[in-house]
């Protein structure tokens, strides 16, 4: 598990450095594949949220435990969005999800709610305001109606 975490952190850093090098040496600057990344964890899981250069987000969950991840936001502060994310792939304890969220005046926040065995895992649940690097306290925004786990 430590080796997987170290490898993922190395790849995230390498992608950022490669993007900086290519944009400074090429005539036409190119965006790196990963614009920004954040990481958090608990005793059961390592979570990596990556903002892709081409748009969209990639969530990587490193864990032997299976989690359900629910994406929350509100459009125009009134219309709740609740979507259980479907894994793009899952191999050797690494589950990958791709999804879209654009931080705009209409959707200034998003929440990622983690649950296992029918129970929410508060230490993994995160709410972001304005971008993936600005985390607010759980409960800051009402996630609205919950899906059944």
Examine residue 141 and state whether it is found in any structural domain, yes or no.
no
Distances (CA, A) of 57 to 12, 22, 27, 101: 14, 22, 28, 7
Which residues lie closer than 8 Å to 21 by C-beta, 6 or more apart?
Answer: none
Residue range 38-89, pLDDT digits in tens? 999 999 999 999 998 777 899 999 999 999 999 999 887 677 889 999 999 9
* Long-range contact set of residues 34-37: C-beta below 8 Å, sequence gap at least 24: 36/131, 36/132, 36/133, 37/12, 37/132
The candidate with the shortest Cα–Cα distance to 99, out of 111, 117, 116, 115, is: 111
Examine residue 68 and state whether it is found in any structural domain, yes or no.
yes
For residue 126, give its domain range.
40-136
Regarding pTM above 0.85, the answer is: no
Give the chain's domain count: 1
CATH code (residue 102): 2.60.40.10
Examine residue 84 and state whether it is found in any structural domain, yes or no.
yes
Examine residue 53 and state whether it is found in any structural domain, yes or no.
yes
Examine residue 143 and state whether it is found in any structural domain, yes or no.
no
């Amino acid at each position: 598990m430590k080796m997987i975490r170290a490898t993922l952190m190395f790849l995230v850093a390498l992608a950022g450095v490669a993007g900086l090098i290519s944009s400074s040496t090429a005539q036409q600057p190119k965006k790196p594949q990963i614009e920004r990344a954040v990481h958090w964890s608990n005793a059961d899981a390592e979570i990596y949220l990556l903002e892709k250069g081409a748009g969209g987000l990639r969530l990587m969950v490193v864990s032997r435990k299976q989690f359900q991840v629910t994406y929350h936001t509100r459009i125009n502060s009134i219309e709740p969005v609740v979507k259980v994310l479907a894994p793009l792939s899952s191999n050797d304890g690494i589950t990958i999800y791709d999804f879209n969220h654009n931080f705009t005046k209409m959707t200034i926040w998003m929440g990622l709610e983690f649950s296992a065995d029918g129970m929410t895992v508060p230490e993994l649940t995160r709410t972001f305001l304005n971008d993936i690097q600005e985390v607010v306290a759980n409960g800051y925004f009402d996630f609205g109606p919950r899906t059944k786990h």
